[in-house]
A and B are shown apart, each in its own frame.
Chain A
Amino acid sequence: MSSRTDRRPDPEELLRRVQADERRERRGRLKVFLGYASRVGKSFRMFDEGRRRKERGQDVVVGALQSDITPEIRDIVCRFDIVPTISEQYAGRAYQTMDLSGIFRRHPEVCLIDGLAYDNPPGSRNPQRWQDVEELLRRGIAVITAVNIQHIREQQDAVERITGKRSPYSVPEDFLREAEEIEVVDAPPEALLGRTPGSADQSGVSSMPDSRRLAELRELALLLAADVVERQLQEYLDAHGVAARWGAQERILVCLTPRSNAGDMLRSGQRNALRFHGALLAVYVEQSGLSAEDQARLESHMALARELGAEVQCLKGDDFVQTILDFAREQRVTQLFIGHSLGDQRFRLSRSAVDRLIDAGEGFDIRLFPHVGAK
Chain B
Amino acid sequence: MSQARKGRLKVYLGYAAGVGKTYRMLEEAQELRQKGVDIVIGYFEPHGRKETIVKTEGLETIPRRVLSYAGTQFEEMDTDAILRRKPAVAIVDEFAHTNVPGSERAKRWQDVHALLDAGIDVLTTMNVQHLESLNDQVWNATGVRVRETIPDWVVDEADEVVFVDLTPRALRNRLERGVVYSQEKAQRAMENFFTETNLTALREMAMRHTAHEVEERLEPGPALPPSSRKERILICLTSSPASAVLIRRGKRVADYLQADCLAIHVATTADGSEAVERHMSFARNLRIETNVIQSADVAGTIAGFARSRGVTQIYMGRSQPPPWWNRFAETIVQQVVRQARDMQITIVSERRR
Q: Could you tell me which A residues sit within 8 Å of B by CB distance? A: 31, 162, 180-188, 190, 196-199, 202, 212, 215-216, 218-219, 222-223, 225-226, 229-230, 232-233, 236-237, 242, 245-249, 267-268, 270-272, 274-277, 335, 340, 343, 348-349, 354-355, 358-359, 361-371, 374-375
Give residues 187-231 of B contacting A (CB, 8 Å). 196-197, 200-201, 203-205, 207-208, 210-211, 214-215, 217-219, 221, 223, 225-228
Chain A positions within 8 Å of B345 at CB level: 340, 367-368
Asked if A272 and B257 make an inter-chain contact with CB atoms under 8 angstroms apart, the answer reads yes
CB pair B200 A370 closer than 8 Å: no
Cα-based distance from A236 to B195 in the complex (angstroms): 12
Contact A274:B225 (CB < 8 A) given known A365-B346, A370-B344: yes
Cβ contact within 8 Å between A196 and B37: yes
Interface centre among A197, A199, A222, A358 (most CB of B within 10 A): A197
Contacts of B249 in A (CB 8 A): 365
B8-A215 in contact (CB<8A)? no
In the complex, residue of chain A having the shortest beta-carbon distance to the beta carbon of B314: A368
Q: Would you call B53 an interface residue if the criterion is a C-beta within 8 Å of the partner chain's C-beta atoms?
A: no
Total B residues in contact with A, Cβ cutoff 8 Å: 71
A248 is contacted by which of B141, B226, B228, B343 (Cβ under 8 Å)? Answer: B141
Q: Mark B134-150, 1 if CB is under 8 A from A, else 0.
A: 00010011000000000
Q: Which residues of A contact B292 (CB under 8 A)?
A: none
- Contact between A270 and B207 (Cβ–Cβ < 8 Å)? no
Nearest residue (CB) in A for B319 is A358
Task: Give every chain B residue within 8 A of A355 (Cβ-Cβ).
Answer: 334
B313 cross-chain contacts in A, Cβ below 8 A: 367
Interface residue from A219, A343, A349 paired with B211 (Cβ < 8 Å): A219
> Nearest A residue to B321 by beta-carbon distance?
A359
Q: Are A233 and B167 in contact (CB under 8 A)?
A: no
A366 → B minimal CB distance (Å)? 5
Distance in angstroms from B20 CB to nearest chain A CB is 11
CB pair A365–B348 under 8 Å, yes or no, is: yes
* Residue of B whose beta carbon sits closest to that of A366: B347
Q: Which residues of B contact A219 (CB under 8 A)?
A: 211, 214-215, 218
Query: Which positions in B face A, CB cutoff 8 Å?
Result: 5, 8, 10, 32, 35, 37-39, 88-89, 121, 123, 137, 140-141, 159-160, 162-167, 169-170, 196-197, 200-201, 203-205, 207-208, 210-211, 214-215, 217-219, 221, 223, 225-228, 249, 253, 256-258, 313, 318, 328, 333-334, 337-338, 341-352
Instruction: Evaluate contact between A368 and B344: CB separation under 8 angstroms.
Output: yes
B330: min CB distance to chain A, Å: 9
Known interface pairs A223-B208, A229-B204; A375-B167 also in contact (CB < 8 Å): no
Task: Check B328–A230 contact: CB distance below 8 A.
Answer: no
* Complex Cα–Cα for A274 and B223 (A): 10
- A223 contacts B207, C-beta separation under 8 Å: yes
Give the distance in Å from the alpha carbon of A354 to the alpha carbon of B319 in the complex.
13
A339–B200 CA distance with the chains assembled, in angstroms: 36
* Complex Cα gap A278–B349 (Å): 20
Q: B162 touching A374 by the CB < 8 A rule?
A: no
**A340, B204: Cβ atoms closer than 8 Å:** no
Known: A226-B207, A248-B201. A215 touches B214 (CB 8 A): yes
Contact B342 A370 (CB under 8 A): yes
Let me know if B197 and A222 touch, CB within 8 A. no
In the assembled complex, the Cα of A276 lies from the Cα of B249 at a distance in Å of 13
Closest 9 CB pairs of A and B: A226-B207, A198-B89, A222-B211, A274-B225, A186-B163, A181-B167, A198-B88, A184-B165, A198-B37
